[in-house]
Structure 1
Amino acid sequence: MTDISFLTATELGPLLKSRQLSPIELTKHLLNRINTFDSMLRTYITPLHDSALKQAKEAEENIMRGNYIGPLHGIPIGVKDNYYTKGIRTTAGSKLFINFIPKENATTVDKLLNAGGIMLGKQNLHELAAGSTGTNPFFGNTRNPWNIQYMPGGSSGGGTASLAAGLAILATGSDTFGSIRLPASMCGVYGLKTTYGLVSTHGIFPTAMSLDTAGPMARSVSDLALMLHYMAGFDANDPVSLDAPVPNYMADLNKGIKGIKIGLPAYFLQDLAPDVESLFKGAMETLQYLGAEVVDVEIPELTLSTFSGYTIAAGEASALHHKWLQTHSSDYSADIRSFFLAGALTDTPQYLQAQQARRKLVKGFQEAFKHVDLLLGPTIPITPQIYSEQWVKQNLEVIRSCLPFTVPANLTGTPSLAVPMGLDSENLPVGMQFIGKPLSEKLLLQAGKAWESTMPLRFRA
Structure 2
Amino acid sequence: MLDRIERHNDTLNAFITVTGDLALEQARKADDELSQGKDCGSLHGIPIAIKDLFATKGIRTSCGSKLFENWIPEYDAAAVTRMLDAGAVLLGKTGLHELAYGNTSINPFFGAVRNPWATDHDPGGSSGGSASAVSAGLAYAALGTETGCSIRQPAHCCGIVGHKPTFGLVSTAGVQPLVWTMDHVGPLTRSVEDAALMLGVLAGHNPDDPYSAKNTGVDDFDCSGVRLDGMKIGVVRNFFFDGYADVIDVVDAALETLRELGARLIDLELPNVEQASREARITFAEAFAVHADNLEQNPEAYSEELRGRLAESESIRASRYAQAQHFRRQFTKECEELMSKCDVLLAPTATIAAAPINDRPEDYRRNAWKNTGISDFTGQPSASIPCGFTAKGLPVGMMFTGRLFKDRQVLQIAHAVQQATDWYRTPPDFS
Structure 2 length-normalised TM: 0.96
| Match runs of 1:50-89 below 5 Å | 50-89=21-60
Contact 2:241 2:248 in 1 (8 A): no
Q: Distance in 2 between matches of 1:366 and 1:117?
A: 35
SS at match of 1:291: coil
Partner residue in 2 for 1:20: none
Q: Which amino acid aligns with 1:459?
A: P
Partner residue in 2 for 1:46: 17
Q: Does 1:344 align with 2:314?
A: yes
Q: Distance in 2 between matches of 1:373 and 1:83?
A: 33
Contact 1:378 1:431 in 2 (8 A): yes
Q: Does 1:459 align with 2:430?
A: no
Q: Which amino acid aligns with 2:422?
A: M
Q: How far does the alpha carbon of each residue in 1:173-193 deviate from its partner, in whole angstroms, 9 at most, with x for none?
A: 111011000100000000000
Q: Does 1:416 align with 2:416?
A: no
Q: Given the alignment, which residue of 225, 236, 247 partners 2:219?
A: 247
Q: Distance in 2 between matches of 1:115 and 1:270?
A: 40
Q: How far does the alpha carbon of each residue in 1:54-109 deviate from its partner, in whole angstroms, 9 at most, with x for none?
A: 11111111111111233311100001111110111111111000111111101111
SS at match of 1:60: helix
RMSD: 1.4
| Match runs of 1:323-402 below 5 Å | 323-388=293-358, 397-402=363-368
Residue 83 to residue 123, structure 1, CA distance change in 2 (3 Å): same
Q: Which amino acid aligns with 2:158?
A: C
1:416 positional shift: 0.5
| Match runs of 1:73-112 below 5 Å | 73-112=44-83
Q: Distance in 2 between matches of 1:365 and 1:425?
A: 34
| Match runs of 1:4-403 below 5 Å | 30-243=1-214, 244-250=216-222, 252-313=223-284, 315-388=285-358, 397-403=363-369
Q: Distance in 1 between matches of 2:188 and 2:240?
A: 26
Q: Which amino acid aligns with 2:311?
A: L
Contact 2:345 2:402 in 1 (8 A): yes
SS at match of 2:415: helix
1:397 positional shift: 3.8
1:268 positional shift: 4.1
Q: Distance in 1 between matches of 2:41 and 2:81?
A: 15
Q: Distance in 2 between matches of 1:206 and 1:380?
A: 23
Deviates more, 1:238-247 or 1:422-431: 238-247
Q: Distance in 2 between matches of 1:65 and 1:147?
A: 44
Q: Distance in 2 between matches of 1:256 and 1:116?
A: 32
Deviates more, 1:297-306 or 1:130-139: 297-306
Contact 2:50 2:130 in 1 (8 A): yes
Contact 1:173 1:215 in 2 (8 A): yes
Q: How far does the alpha carbon of each residue in 1:200-244 deviate from its partner, in whole angstroms, 9 at most, with x for none?
A: 111111010000010111000010011011000111111121122
Q: How far does the alpha carbon of each residue in 1:29-51 deviate from its partner, in whole angstroms, 9 at most, with x for none?
A: x1111111101101001100111
Q: Distance in 1 between matches of 2:369 and 2:252?
A: 21
1:360 positional shift: 2.7
Contact 2:240 2:371 in 1 (8 A): no
Q: Distance in 2 between matches of 1:355 and 1:65?
A: 54
Q: Distance in 1 between matches of 2:226 and 2:343?
A: 15
Q: Distance in 1 between matches of 2:300 and 2:363?
A: 23
Q: Distance in 1 between matches of 2:301 and 2:394?
A: 34
Q: How far does the alpha carbon of each residue in 1:146-170 deviate from its partner, in whole angstroms, 9 at most, with x for none?
A: 1111110000000000011110001
Contact 1:268 1:377 in 2 (8 A): no
Q: How far does the alpha carbon of each residue in 1:295-317 deviate from its partner, in whole angstroms, 9 at most, with x for none?
A: 1112112111221111112x100
SS at match of 1:300: coil
1:247 positional shift: 2.9
Partner residue in 1 for 2:399: 433
1:291 positional shift: 2.1
SS at match of 2:211: coil
1:359 positional shift: 2.1
1:350 positional shift: 1.6
Contact 2:153 2:369 in 1 (8 A): no
Partner residue in 2 for 1:3: none
Q: Distance in 2 between matches of 1:337 and 1:190?
A: 32
Q: Distance in 2 between matches of 1:152 and 1:399?
A: 13
Contact 1:134 1:153 in 2 (8 A): yes
Residue 195 to residue 112, structure 1, CA distance change in 2 (3 Å): same
Q: Distance in 1 between matches of 2:225 and 2:36?
A: 33
Structure 1 gap segments, 5+ residues each = 1-29
Contact 1:305 1:404 in 2 (8 A): no
Contact 1:142 1:152 in 2 (8 A): yes
1:326 positional shift: 1.5
Q: Distance in 2 between matches of 1:294 and 1:42?
A: 41
